[in-house]
Structure 1
Amino acid sequence: MTLYHFGNCMALIYFPYYLTYKHSGLSEYGAFWKCIQAGLIYMVTQLAKMLVLATFFPDNVSDLGNDTIGEFLKSTVDLADLAGLYLVLSGIPGKGHSKVLTAGIGWAAAEVVLSRTVLLWVGARGAEFDWIYIQKCLESNILLVQHIITATLVWLWSRHDLKQNIRSAVSILLLLTSYKSLLLDLLISFIGASMWMGLLIKATTTLIYGMFTLVIYAGLAQIIGIF
């Protein structure tokens, strides 16, 4: 039974990544190694972030979960993710949609492998069933969408033909990206939402966030024909 639960969790967490890669057309572009490259840059970026946190905010690292200021500092350091994604996008040739999908999927896959695999191996194989692992898997699927959105915003921001008002909107969305997790956690804690309700709030917020990004991207694509 424990292995069955573990298998279900592994399928729930990784199968959407496979389907996204397979049916987005990236396999036709031979983008697999570019996804691996994105994952490697993700790991280097996270290492750099940990070094910054340990060096400049040593008093806050141990209690980030209970300290709002510590969480804010951690979210500020997350701005490095935007720089990492920019570096990934710079090394990927091709059209806009293939660049953002390759960067987003590679980045998200690296995160889920590093942050979820050990958790599921240790926890989901336990003797007692716990919904928290299903929730973690669903949350990883939400993060997949979020990372693709973030990669799209970084790519839009890097373009030189973007109008100033649109660039300002993209910059605001990018800034909110780094603090999105913190703001949602504070909201969920403030209203006392359950874990399932919190998951629904995160999914709804990501959907709205994605719709704004899609409108900007589709508008630019229609003007200059980048599809």
Structure 2
Amino acid sequence: MTLYHFGNCIALIYVPYYLTYKQSGLYVCGYFLRICSHYCIFSSEYGAFWKCMHAGLIYIFTQLAKMLVLATFFPDNVAELGNDLIGEFLKSTVDLADLIGLYLVLSSIPGKGHSKVLTAGIGWATAEVILSRALLLWVGARGAEFDWIYIQKCFESNILLVQHIVTATLVWLWSRHDLHSNLRTIVTVMLVLTAYKTLLLDLLITTVSAGPWMGLLIKAAVTFVYGFLTLVIYGGLARVIGIF
């Protein structure tokens, strides 16, 4: 039963990531480019898999930098800041570094917009889910007693996959010089809110006294709205400049 629960959690987390990578066209594109690189038509550096790996490495570097900043400016007072809204706000400000990291990832990926944002988003999300969930599941989900918290963490990881792809799209849109000024303002506001999204959602969930499953539903609904708005902006820009 323990092994079955652990395997179920692993599949629930990582299978959606694999299917997203494979069905998005990146898998086929990477395979095709590897064949072409064998005949010296393209360089192998354009393979989507290695670009995802590159995004994961930048994610690791970004998290290390954030940990260094948090340890420097917020030492040994996590418990006190937990009840301090201003302190939590300042800690969430450090998450702006994620936007910088995604910008660096997108700048290093050649190709069209859809392949850039998918490669950056999937690579970033995969690195996060491996580093933040693998040890948790290995230690907790293999326990003798069943706990719904690990299933909830799995669903939350799938929501984060969508969120990271949306964030990568917003960063790419913000970097476009041909984006209308009004849309750029909207994209900028959405990016700033993304950095504080975790804090705002936690405050909302606490305010309405939502349980774990209702909290997941709220996070999924907010992510859906974010994704829909981003898709509308991206689709409008795509029709104008013909990036599909």
Same fold (TM over 0.5): yes
CA RMSD of aligned residues (A): 1.1
Aligned to 2:9: 9
Q: Does 1:218 align with 2:206?
A: no
Alpha-carbon distance in 1 for matches of 2:110, 2:200: 35
Distance 2:239 2:81 in 1: 44
Structure 2 segments unaligned to the other structure (5+ residues):
31-47
**1:191 alignment partner, one of 198, 204, 208:** 208
Distance 1:164 1:84 in 2: 24
Give the fraction of aligned pairs with identical amino acids, expressed as a percent. 79
Distance change in 2, residues 1:122/1:65 (3 Å)? farther
C-alpha deviations, 1:158-178, integer Å up to 9, x for none?
Answer: 011111101000000000000
Equivalent positions of 1:37-186 (< 5 A) are 37-61=54-78, 63-186=80-203
Aligned AA (2:97):
A
Shift of 1:191: 0.8
Bigger CA drift: 53-62 or 67-76? 53-62
Q: Is the 8 A contact 1:38 1:103 kept in 2?
A: yes
Please tell me whether the aligned partners of residues 104 and 149 of structure 1 are also in contact (alpha carbons under 8 angstroms). Answer: yes
Instruction: Determine the C-alpha separation between the residues in 1 that align with 2:124 and 2:49.
Output: 12
Larger Rg: 2
Q: Which amino acid aligns with 1:22?
A: K
For 1:64 and 1:101, the matched residues in 2 are separated by: 35
Q: Distance in 1 between matches of 2:136 and 2:83?
A: 21
Which residues in structure 2 correspond to 1:20-31 (within 5 Å)? Answer: 20-30=20-30, 31=48
